A and B are shown apart, each in its own frame.
Chain A
Amino acid sequence: MKTEPVLEIKDLDVSYHTLTDTVVALKGVSLAVGKNEALGIIGESGCGKSTLFYAIMDYLPVTASRSGQILFKGDDLAQKTPKEMTKYRGSKIAMVYQNPYSSLNPSLTIGFQLEEVSMFHHGMSRKDARQAAVETLSDLHLGDAAGIVRRYPHQISGGMQQRICIAMALLCKPDLMILDEPTTALDVTTEAVILDIIQELKDKYNMSLIYISHDIGVVNKVSDRIAVMYRSEVVEFGNQRTIYKKPEHPYTRALINCMPRAGVLKENTQLNTIPGYVSRRSAAEIGCPFVARCEKKNATCEEKYGMVERKPGHFAACDRAYATDIPDKVLAKEKGAIPEGSEPEHKTILKIDNLYRYYGPHGKRIRALDGVDLTLDRNSVLGVVGESGCGKSTMGHTVSGLMRPTRGKIIFDGTDISVSWRKRSPETLRDIQLIFQNPGRSLNPSFTIENIIGRPMLKLLGIKSKQERRKRIVDILKKVDLGEEYLYRRPKQLSGGEMQRAAVARAFSIAPNLLVCDEPTSALDASVQASVLNLLVDLQKDSGAAYIFISHDLNVINYLSDYIMVMYLGRICEYGMKTEVAGSPRHPYTEALLSAVPDVDPSLKRGEIRLQGAPPNPTKKIKGCPFAGRCHRKVGSVCDTTPPPRVNFSDTHFAYCHISPEVLNAEISVKGIEGIEAAADEEVI
């Protein structure tokens, strides 16, 4: 470590005592953050990363017990009394939280909540405090700072609220800022802007940072060094680049392999999944926490276990990530390039043209879908990507029949199904199935798995006999690798991943031809997401069903889909084969979207396109291109007045933009999802 650490945690243990048993949250955690250094902490849900920052700030619930040292510039916070801690909280160590909206008091103005920090910690008068607040807000590129100060939290957008929270943390010039998943709740483009700001402020105020997240891509963008946590322990800690390139701990390697990332496609690799699930850690457990699920475990895992400096500045609790004595179970498929001419045979199953869907009363009509047309072939996956409010879920709901379209036609396998489910024939109902985002809410909590999956068979396939249904349920469960004992369990007794797999089983139990997946994996952890994605790919092979896969995560879309459709404010921006849209995007919005995608490989560099402001108000009628307001390659006033024409780049690839096709083709930059290969492997520090 170059400089003397701002914060040093030594051997921190935290456990929660419930009435029946005690649960270990943190075990023997040792970390250090140098001056003006950014430490990223990665871990899946339940690994104790949130407990870490509560422990540091001494904000643990009364049932928790804490031991070990937390040295902040030398003095140990662990011994401080709550009164003394108030001096540290806010002025020495500041916090930024996950959902900005709920971290701001709804009935106090933004100005008041900013001023109270500087008034309290630095004894400023209200006038000076307000002045300091306005200055800090302008640091965060907020336009009308004086206006915002007078407003209430519910009057500003999500991205804006998170900048206010960051400003609140900055106002007391902290030495250390701890950020707990600050951008998870935001859109990709806004997230990129916020991450840039954090990076910029770190250097400007030479603060040190602790950035906690479950998403490696986001952490890479901000942190110099990264710690990987698993089941309340730090299993690996080192330089950002080496953690990705040469992880020492099998868990880190498996975690990275689970994540869809640039260059990983369903055609050439099967995502690595980690068998089993994260179980609670009781006080008695010793040895490596990952031993139950590790494919590289051997006899040494119990005794020889402990953090060791494997390489200079790189610690790990194990070094068998690439051990060869036990072969890798999951091998990447042969990495052949996708044969050029081998598009899947054209057999369209779904055709949508001129689909409109409006919400709300005449005056304030929200135009969720503003003229969408597409065709979908059997046995293919259409990835629909776009930011929140772009109408992708609405499209999924109208196709699956939850909602009736306001105007336009949906032709499925020859029959017109542009009506709500009530008027659809049983065959159509059987043919189209929907998988929801939140697994916990899509299964009826008071039903057993057996009758959850059995009900559609009885209702739509008319299989009367119970034994027949049970037999089918058992083998569909096997397909989603859930054992027979799951028949009698209720959703509450299942983990997130198991519930989603059960939902998939329910959808496939009646062999649908079209499966609409509305962000099925965004609520899941990386390793669990991988198992669901693999499941979807395998099931498509033998059922031949078509998928409409809706997501805001471009990596997942890029991995799974054959065709990609990018939507913005209810309209299509760009449509084409995966290789075309992700490989060489044409539409400025797709470019901006791709450049904002955080990638697992830190060395990957992407274009620096940042979109300012927020999408326009959906209730207003838009004459020109909806993206005109924020477009970084705006041609001129024509973008605002006339709707962009359709520009065809190949018979499957088109976009709606005023920029002439020649200019668009000429500037094919390497801004695709593969990004620019790092110049050379920088030497690993």
Chain B
Amino acid sequence: MDFLKRFAKRLGFTLLTILAMSILIFFLVEIMPGDVAQTVLGQSATEESVAALRDRMGLDDPLHQRYLRWAGGFIRGDLGESLYMRGVQINTIFWRKVGHSVVLAFTALLFYVPLSILFGVFAGVKEGKAPDAIISFIGLATMALPEFVSGIILITVFAVGLEILPIASIIPIGENLWQNLDILVLPALSITFVMFGYVSRMQRSSMVSVMKADYIRAAILKGMPRKYVIFRHALKNALLPTITIIGMNMGWLFGGLIVVETLFGFPGLGSLTMSAIKTRDIPLIEACVLFITFIFVFATFITDMLYAFLNPRIRYKRGDV
């Protein structure tokens, strides 16, 4: 079936992109100015102690050798030793934080995907009328706010004003995220603002174009009531492009994650990346950035497959009867 062939081709291509990504990130981080060992040992380190550390960390090996060792480790899930905190394996802190970020991202998705589809469809159906104008304007306005601006507005209203939600997202020691779900609400809402604006506008325009299609006119003139035509005929075709849009926007979602986690101090992958960059902890930076791109590329791949699966034109080959 050509669907499987397409699946295999796309999967291969996605893995290729990830490989190319890892090479790009590795060299991008490597060429950064400043001597890593010098930074670790601090300003007082003597020349020979710096040289000793460089040797121990294999910083002087040829570049490709170091890349292979690092990539090998990454595949096995061992992200190597944190340069900054000697003796601390990146794994211990990395995967917990990734877990938190995935939960936050998922909550944001849970908020904005149904909402933007609901409003997008509603605005599309009522094209040109009052609700359409209102929803489009709201969409435009929220899309224009960077995450931290909407975050600050949310903080002033909910955390400072009404004081019903925590201003900072901290997990007390010994507890885990699931016992403190309230720290998820404000960060997720800040991301929802931007994503809602973008996706609802896309959903609206896709709904509008589907409503103008010939087969909708044919269905109505077949005597089918308008509501039935909207749900059974229009919705299925209108939702297809939205899947790809959500997939493509994962990049924005992760960009937004970093900003929001910094604003709320949320212990996720975003704030870990920020502190990694600040402390120039090279292996940690590489791990974080590569993981973000891995999720992003994988998400696009999944949405591609979902689109191909749900779209009969692609799923079934053109068989002549």
Contacts and interface: CB of A to CB of B under 8 A. Distances in A.
Contacts of B317: 155
Interface in B210-269: 213-215, 217-226, 232-233, 236-237, 240
Contacts of A89: 220-223
A406 interface: no
Interface string A157-198: 100100001001000100000000000000000000000000
B9 interface: no
A151 B217 CA distance: 22
A147 B220 CA distance: 26
Contacts of A172: 223
Interface in A59-98: 59, 82, 86-91, 94-95, 97
Interface string A593-619: 000000000000000000000100100
A108 interface: yes
A91 B224 CA distance: 10
- Of B221, B240, B311, B317, most A-chain CB atoms within 10 Å: B221
Given A89-B223, A121-B223, A102 B215 contact: yes
Contacts of A143: 321
Interface in B191-209: none
Contacts of A116: 222, 224, 232
Interface residues of A, number: 40
A154 B318 contact: yes
Contacts of A156: 320-321
B126 to A, nearest CB: 13
B319 A151 contact: yes
Given A147-B321, A154-B313, A155-B316, A120 B237 contact: no
A229 B214 CA distance: 25
A108 B236 contact: yes
Nearest to B213: A102
Nearest to A58: B221
A152 interface: yes
Contacts of B318: 154-155
A592 to B, nearest CB: 21
B313 A106 contact: yes
Interface string A98-109: 010011111110
Contacts of A94: 222
A120 B224 contact: yes
A155 B224 contact: no
Contact of B233 (A86, A105, A147): A105
B161 interface: no
Interface in B276-321: 310-313, 316-321
A90 B222 contact: yes
A100 B316 CA distance: 19
Contacts of A157: 320-321
B321 to A, nearest CB: 5
A617 B320 contact: yes
A504 interface: no
B223 A105 contact: no
A89, A103, A117, A157: most-surrounded residue (chain B CB, <10 A):
A103
A565 interface: no
A104 to B, nearest CB: 6
A144 interface: yes
Contacts of B319: 151, 155
Contacts of A104: 215, 218
Contacts of B226: 82
A86 B225 contact: yes
B222 A168 contact: yes
Contacts of B240: 107
A152 B311 CA distance: 11
Contacts of A108: 232-233, 236
Contacts of A617: 320
Contacts of B221: 57, 59, 89-90, 95
Contacts of A533: none
Contacts of B321: 143-144, 147-148, 151, 155-157, 160
Interface in B79-96: none
Nearest to B236: A107
Contacts of A86: 223-225
Contact of A103 (B215, B237, B310, B312): B215
B209 to A, nearest CB: 13
Contact of B215 (A105, A144, A152, A614): A105
Interface in A600-659: 614, 617
Nearest to A101: B214
A89 B228 CA distance: 15
A162 to B, nearest CB: 12
Nearest to A172: B223
Contacts of B316: 151-152, 154-155
Contacts of B232: 108, 116
A103 B214 contact: yes
A143 B220 CA distance: 29
Contacts of A148: 321
Contact of B311 (A57, A107, A120): A107
Nearest to A104: B215
A154 B215 CA distance: 13
B217 A59 contact: yes
A91 B221 CA distance: 10
B53 to A, nearest CB: 56
Contact of B218 (A91, A103, A144, A160): A103
B223 A97 contact: no
A97 B216 CA distance: 12
Contacts of A155: 316-321
Contacts of A120: 223-224
Contacts of A147: 321
Interface string B123-166: 00000000000000000000000000000000000000000000
Contacts of A614: 320
B231 to A, nearest CB: 12
A105 B222 CA distance: 13
B222 A152 contact: no
Contacts of B224: 86, 90, 116, 120
Nearest to A156: B321
A165 B214 CA distance: 12
A117 B222 contact: yes
A16 to B, nearest CB: 16
A104 B313 CA distance: 13
Contacts of A168: 222
A21 to B, nearest CB: 20
Most A CB atoms within 10 A — which of B217, B236, B237?
A: B217
21 contacts: A89-B220, A89-B222, A90-B221, A90-B222, A97-B214, A102-B215, A103-B214, A103-B215, A106-B313, A107-B313, A120-B223, A120-B224, A144-B321, A148-B321, A151-B321, A152-B312, A152-B316, A155-B316, A156-B320, A160-B321, A165-B218
| Top 3 A-B residue pairs of the complex, sorted by shortest distance between their CB atoms | A90-B223, A102-B214, A89-B223
Given A90-B224, A144-B321, A152-B313, 8 more contacts: A91-B223, A107-B311, A151-B319, A155-B317, A156-B320, A156-B321, A157-B321, A168-B222
Interface of B: 213-215, 217-226, 232-233, 236-237, 240, 310-313, 316-321
